Amino acid sequence: MTTKADRLHGTVKRLFLPRGFGYITGEDGRDYFIHATELQDSEWSAETIREGDKVEFEPQSNGDRALKVVVL
């Protein structure tokens, strides 16, 4: 079970909207891969997520992937 303490904040660094992926820089300084399927509570589009947006996400336990991403 994920707790609030397990989640990180970050900033959308780069998006490839038509291809459905991008990168987030976490508050820990690491870059995380984001896939469109991990965006929660909204659709993957230029109206809902943009470079520079602040996000909250769950870092994958064994990698550099952002899971359950929420745009703040």
pLDDT at 4 over 80: no
Give the residues across from 55 on adjacent strands: 10, 71
CATH classification at residue 27: 2.40.50.140
C-alpha closest to that of 56 among 3, 10, 4: 10
In angstroms, the CA 1 to CA 18 distance is 32
Query: How many domains does one find in the chain?
Result: 1
Residues 15, 3: Cα–Cα separation, whole Å: 27
Over range 25-30, report the average pLDDT.
Answer: 96
Domain that holds residue 24: 4-58+67-71
- What's the pTM value of the predicted model, to 2 decimals? 0.89
Query: What is the arithmetic mean of pLDDT over 41-68?
Result: 93
Amino acid code (one letter) for 44: W
Q: Phi and psi at residue 52, in whole multiples of 5°? A: 95, -15
Tokens of 71: 């745009």
